[in-house]
Amino acid sequence: MKKEKNILVFNVGSSSIKYSLFEGLNLIDIGYYERLKDKEDYRKSIIQIFEKVNKNNLDLIAHRVVHGGGLKKPVKVNEEVKSIIEIFSEFAPLHNPKQLMVIDFCEKYKKPQYAFFDTAFFSDIPKVAQVYAIPKELSKKFQIRRYGFHGLSHECVSRNLKGKLITCHLGSGASISAILDGKPLDTSMGFTPLEGLIMGTRSGTIDPGIILFLEKKKYSVEKILTEKSGLKGICKFNDFRDILRNLDKKDCKLAYDMFIYSIIKIIGSYVGVLNGLDNLVFTGAIGENVARLREEVCDNFKFLGLKLNKKRNKTNEELISSENSKVKVFVKKTNEERIIIEEILKVL
């Protein structure tokens, strides 16, 4: 009988490591390390993970990497792939460097490593959504285009849903995608994970003139927009749970309302892109767990014939729309690791 491959999947964040151990398609162990502050914290976490999963039984290691540039498919990690991850670290500074660091830590265990890119799902979106209105020669020289992110999540929750679909990945990082019969047409994040929705510490879409103005005033704009803006910039909290606990405070209520408003604006624009809507999906830590937010967002799309089943919504059930709703509304738990495993088994 053919032995199933033992595959260790790493999903590395800006301050965390999630690992999942699979035997073939079967998940056999999972763990989460958070509040990691520096390189040493990551190194110690990797050592502990390999001690726990028994490195001798591993066949290979897979990594979710946020930005892969033009790479469309899973690739085996080599020096060239590592250099691409490093190049695009400039555009995903909170994630790519940490993911590359973990890849380097794993090399001592002498197992084949594969990289899976969050940008791959959006690699072939239409030119009208992909191209920025800047000089063409600059776009070509510096590979400036809409890449999109959270691709593994959007792909996961859109599976088996036909027709006109909008997927909302709402967490500390947040993005929304328009998908037609499984093919993405547009997504709210762009050249970097800064564009689109207001996020935990990221500004989302703002007037580029603000950037020019702050640079003239000698501010470090990159740090401000990636680490000090978004919900944190409005109310000092970047954890949505803290905001929910403090809605009686004016700044927290404003941050909450602005987040919902930014979601409504992008969903509304994608209804236009799709020329209608058949399915709406909420996923991510906020999308899966905050019933109040889902209800307030959906209230703005009653004109589409969208009707929520409030009881099912409150208990975070998978289908939360009413039976007579013209738009089906889902709460789906994303499983990026499952997508990675399915793809790697195809490659092998």
Whole-prediction pTM: 0.92
pLDDT tens figures, 144-186: 999 999 999 999 999 999 999 999 999 999 999 999 999 999 9
270 versus 13: which is more confidently predicted? 270
Q: How confident is the model at residue 220 (pLDDT cuts 50, 70, 90)?
A: very high
Token look-up 């690699």 returns 123
DSSP string covering 157-207: HHTT--SEEEEEEESSSEEEEEEETTEEEEES--SSTTSSS--SS---S--
What would the CATH number be for the domain defined by 161-331? 3.30.420.40
* Average confidence (pLDDT) over 262-271: 98
Q: Where do the domains of the chain lie?
A: 6-117, 161-331
pLDDT reported for residue 2: 58
Query: How is the chain split among helix, strand and coil, in percent rounded to 5?
Result: 45, 20, 35
Q: Tokens at residue 330, please?
A: 């889902």
262 versus 172: which is more confidently predicted? 262
Q: How confident is the model at residue 33 (pLDDT cuts 50, 70, 90)?
A: very high
Please tell me what DSSP assigns to residue 301: G
Percent of the chain with pLDDT over 90: 87
* Residue pair 207/195 in contact by the 8 Å Cβ criterion: no
pLDDT tens figures, 275-327: 999 999 999 999 999 999 999 999 999 999 999 999 999 999 999 999 999 99
3-state secondary structure string across 84-135: HHHHHHHCCCCCHHHHHHHHHHHHHHCCCEEEEECCHHHCCCCHHHHCCCCC
Superfamily of domain 6-117: ATPase, nucleotide binding domain (3.30.420.40)
Let me know if 118 is a catalytic residue. Answer: yes
Q: What is the mean pLDDT of the chain?
A: 94
Examine domains 6-117 and 161-331 and report if their fold is the same: yes
pLDDT reported for residue 93: 86
pLDDT reported for residue 71: 85
* Residue pair 282/332 in contact by the 8 Å Cβ criterion: yes
Percent of the chain with pLDDT over 70: 99
pLDDT tens figures, 114-132: 999 999 999 999 999 999 9
The one catalytic residue in 118, 124, 181, 257 is: 118
- Main-chain phi, psi angles of 339, to 5 degrees: -60, -45
Q: How confident is the model at residue 69 (pLDDT cuts 50, 70, 90)?
A: confident
pLDDT at 1 over 80: no
